[in-house]
Amino acid sequence: MQTERKPLLGRIRSTLIETIFPARCLACPTETVTPMGLCGACWGRTHFFTGPVCDYCGVAVPTADRTTTRLICDSCDRTPPGWDRGRAAVAYDGVGSQITMAFKHSDRLDMAAPIARWMVAAGADIVSADMIVIPVPLHWSRLLRRRYNQSAILAKHVAGLIGADVEVEALKRRYATPFLKGMTRQERHEAVRDAIIVAPEFVRSVTDRQVLLVDDVMTTGATLAACTQVCRGAGAQSVSVLTLARVARAE
C-alpha cells in the first residue's frame, strides 16, 4: 500500500501547487501551459538565432550562401574575435534583453535552467562532453554587491546538460574593470587588457582541453577575447564561446 500511496500523494501535491501557483511566462505574468516557458506574445517578440549564423559570434547571417561551409558576419570578418567558434541563443533586444537583465540584476535565478537549455540548443553543433566549461569571472568586489556570478550559474547548468566538466573558479579578475557600457570597441578591449588570468591552481585543468567560455551577453566580445587569450596562453587546445544574448550590431 505504501508504494502505491507515494505517487498518488506526489500527484496531489503537484496539482495543489499548480492550482495555487499556476505556471507563468518567463518574461511576463501571463499564465502558460509549460512552467518557465514563454507565452505566445513574448515568444513572438523573442529573436532566437536560428538558421544561418556567424560561426564566430552566433549572430544571424540572413543573406548567407547556405552552401558555404563556414559563415562569418561582416563584423567578425573585419575583426576576428580570437576564439574558434561561438553561439548565442537570442538577440539582445525585446524580450531577449528583458530576460537577460532580469536574470542578471533581479535575482531571477529560477530562469537559469530554461535559458541554459536555449543556449545548449543554440550551440548544439559546437558543444560536447569533452569540453571544460568555464564562466567569465566577476571581480570579488562586484560579486560581493551582486551576490552571485550569473555566468557561473549558467556554466553549471550548461555543463550539466552536455555532460561536461565545469570549473567556475578557473578564471580570475586581477582588478575591477570599469563598466563597459558606452565604451567603443577599442576602449572596451583596453579596459580589460591584462585584467583576467587563469588561476594558477587551474592551469593544468585548461592545458590541452577544449574550453567552452560561458557568459550572459556578448557585445563587442572584448571580455570573452581577453578570457580566450589567457586560456590559449595556458595551453588550451581550442576555445569556443556560448552566451545567452548577443548584441546583434555591435561596433
Domains and CATH numbers, the chain: 1-44 (no CATH), 48-246 (3.40.50.2020)
- The dihedrals phi and psi of 116, each to the nearest 5 degrees, come to -65, -35
Q: From the CB of residue 98, how many other CB atoms can be counted at a distance below 10 Å?
A: 17
Per-residue pLDDT of 81-111, as tens digits, reads 999 999 999 999 999 999 999 898 878 888 9
Q: How far apart are CA 90 and CA 67, in angstroms?
A: 24
Q: How far apart are CA 86 and CA 134, in angstroms?
A: 14
Q: What is the pTM of this model?
A: 0.85
The answer to whether 96 touches 245, Cβ cutoff 8 Å, is yes
Best-predicted range by mean pLDDT (14-18, 59-63, 118-122): 118-122
pLDDT confidence band for 192 (50 / 70 / 90): confident
In the predicted model, is pLDDT for residue 70 greater than 90? no
Q: How far apart are CA 250 and CA 247, in angstroms?
A: 6
Over range 232-247, report the average pLDDT: 96
Based on the number of CB atoms within 10 Å of its own CB, is 183 exposed (0-12), middle (13-18) or buried (19 or more)? middle
- What radius of gyration, in Å, describes the C-alpha atoms of the chain? 20
> Higher model confidence: residue 161 or residue 68?
161
C-alpha cell at 181: 557600457
